[in-house]
A and B are shown apart, each in its own frame.
Chain A
Amino acid sequence: MTGLALAPRNTLWSRLRRRPGATLAMAAIAISVLVAIAAPLLALRDPFSGSAASLLPPLSPGHPLGTDHLGRDLWSQLVYGARVSLAVGILAAASAVLIGTAIGAIAGYVGGVLDNALMRLAEFFQTLPRFVLAIVTIAFFGSSVLHVIIVIAILSWPQTARLVRAGVITLRSAAFVEAARLGGKSDTAIVVREILPNVIAPIVVTGSLDVAAAILLEAGLGFFGLGDPNLVSWGGMLNQAQQYLRQAWWMSVFPGLAITVVVLAFNLLGDALNDALNPRLRDAP
């Protein structure tokens, strides 16, 4: 066929940049991460300190987004809440990806009985109702950010594991893997250095979708009052806003908007990565 040379620079970055959705999503994520890091600088006052000025509407002097029923500044709560939401989302997703990649790679490469056992385990975790299990665990072990992260990670790894396993199975008999075997490489080196770099695409994609799912799950727990009581979180803010829906729309709208934007951004990024990493679509205009 026509052996055309590749376009000069066709990196993942340049392919992502070509998708407007992806650029927007990356910008939104970058801004929320910056906000979370710079929370102490951006917050106007202590998010916990109440005042007599309760239920002030947005654009009140000194309270750009208004205050809640205890007179706490909503803007400051939102800024500190970004820390919890993003930390939970990213750490939980990262743990899920690590666990899933390790288990999937072992199952796919070793095969046989071990593969069967690990995949049944994955199915077990996948069939559990996520939210119910999260509630039960928090109720048992107490509510802390760490527990939330662990629960979400344990519930999310099977998806990554399945994808990695499928990729490893197709590649373990690839000619370049056999060449590495003939080259005296150990099984670990073969999996880590030859096979995994070629299945990174689905891992990255599910990883970013996992972040979105984790943020949503954390917000859900917070909404039901199961969040860490010592921290401000967007879910927790929503929980308190419930009773004031009629009097103070701003108490629910701002955290709700924050969750929507960040979750949407990670989902968009996941979709864009999926397209950009898919070699079949790579050269599409």
Chain B
Amino acid sequence: MNASVIAAHDLQHVFAMRTGLFARRPLYALDGVSLDLGRNETIALVGESGSGKTTLGRLLVGLQTPSRGQVTYRGQDLAALRGEAWRAFRRAAQVVFQDPAASLNPRRSVASAVATGLEGHLGLRGTALYTRVDELLENVGMPPAQYRDRLPHELSGGQRQRVAIARAIAVDPEVLIADEPVSALDVSVRAHILRLLQRLQHERGLACLLITHDLGVARAIADRVVVLYLGRIVEQGPAETLLDRPRHPYTRSLLDASPRPDPARAREPQAPRGEIPSAVNRPTGCHFHPRCPHAVDRCREETPNLRSFDDGRLAACHRAEEL
């Protein structure tokens, strides 16, 4: 694998959560997360809502600053980047947001959305700008003559997401964070968008972080999968082995819960127990123990560390070997 383009080192992110009229308690959105993302690599970040997926994505592109720990871009701490260096990073790390309808300005045309970074980062104007916008639209499969002047509400969900992708890749980024890029789309359109992301990633050698709650999406395009639970990584490893033979009971329960188009499948109906607790009230020890069918006393008392296994995987479970 290549050297990492962007990396998280022991990130912690804490919000002050209002729990009463005057009471405030810390909410650990992320706690001790380390991750590195290399050139030409796609990592799928999976977990339930409230697991910290989106926060991690925002910290990695500098839309938020971590409470502790650091994010490095090509080895440099983001917090130390100033002026030109910061602008270079801003250009290098782009995001495709979850809801394509919300990520496009309702009053601005397709062309001006795609032009955003070209104007802002590259300072393109006039003909050079128009030519580049048209090329990009062509590249994401939207004939420019037909779509250039449309407004977002005149497009379908899939088309809006294409525009958002064109905007993100316009400035030739090195890192692309895609936050649930297909969850708002119909099944028959999903593959279009995922294939587009895949193609662009290969063409440009992008480092791609795909945030998704859908293990099917992760399976389809990720090289590695990182599973997040209540702000901690519970398991990570190559997509194939992790999804075929999960080591962490949480990964297993996510897999069991994922529907698949196979009526003959015998599902264990008791698989996931209860719901993800609030990050304000994290359980002691292993955060997953109240929902875990295999929890023992040790899980309630001692927080498991992320340990590496010989198949290239990391898992944070006391009983990973036995199960």
Chain A directly contacts chain B within the complex, with at least one CB pair under 8 Å? yes
- CB of A198 closer than 8 Å to a CB of B: yes
- CB of A179 closer than 8 Å to a CB of B: yes
Interface SS of chain A: helix, strand, loop or mixed? helix
B171 contacts across to A, CB distance below 8 A = 183-184
Determine the interface band of chain A, counting residues with CB < 8 A from chain B.
20 to 34
- Across the interface, A179 reaches (CB within 8 A) one of B97, B107, B156, namely B97
Contact B107 A178 (CB under 8 A): no
- Across the interface, B107 reaches (CB within 8 A) one of A6, A180, A185, A198, namely A198
| CA A102 to CA B167, docked complex, whole Å | 29
Shortest Cβ distance from B115 into A: residue: A183
Contact B97 A180 (CB under 8 A): no
| CA A175 to CA B95, docked complex, whole Å | 10
A197 contacts across to B, CB distance below 8 A = 105, 107-108
- Across the interface, B105 reaches (CB within 8 A) one of A5, A6, A194, namely A194
B157 contacts across to A, CB distance below 8 A = 3
- Across the interface, A6 reaches (CB within 8 A) one of B91, B99, B154, B164, namely B154
- Across the interface, B116 reaches (CB within 8 A) one of A3, A5, A185, A186, namely A185
Within 8 A of A (CB), among B11-62: 61
- CB of A176 closer than 8 Å to a CB of B: yes
Q: Knowing A3-B156, A179-B164, say if A198 contacts B119 (CB, 8 Å).
A: no
Contact B97 A178 (CB under 8 A): yes
| CA A6 to CA B102, docked complex, whole Å | 18
B120 contacts across to A, CB distance below 8 A = 180, 183-186, 189
B90 contacts across to A, CB distance below 8 A = 182, 184
Least Cβ distance of B75 to chain A in Å? 22
Contact mask for chain B residues 90-117; partner A; CB cutoff 8 A; 1 contact, 0 none: 1101110111001111111000010011
- Across the interface, A176 reaches (CB within 8 A) one of B63, B93, B103, namely B103
Shortest Cβ distance from A197 into B: residue: B107
Within 8 A of A (CB), among B216-235: none
| CA A6 to CA B93, docked complex, whole Å | 35
- CB of B87 closer than 8 Å to a CB of A: yes
Least Cβ distance of B158 to chain A in Å? 11
Please name 10 further chain A to chain B contacts, defined as beta carbons within 8 Å, in addition to the given A175-B103, A178-B97, sorted by A numbering: A6-B153, A176-B103, A182-B61, A182-B93, A182-B94, A182-B168, A184-B87, A185-B119, A197-B107, A198-B107
Binding site for B on A (CB under 8 A): 3, 5-6, 174-176, 178-186, 189, 193-194, 197-198
Q: Which 10 A-B pairs have the closest CB atoms?
A: A184-B120, A183-B116, A183-B117, A184-B121, A175-B103, A175-B97, A183-B120, A185-B120, A175-B102, A176-B105
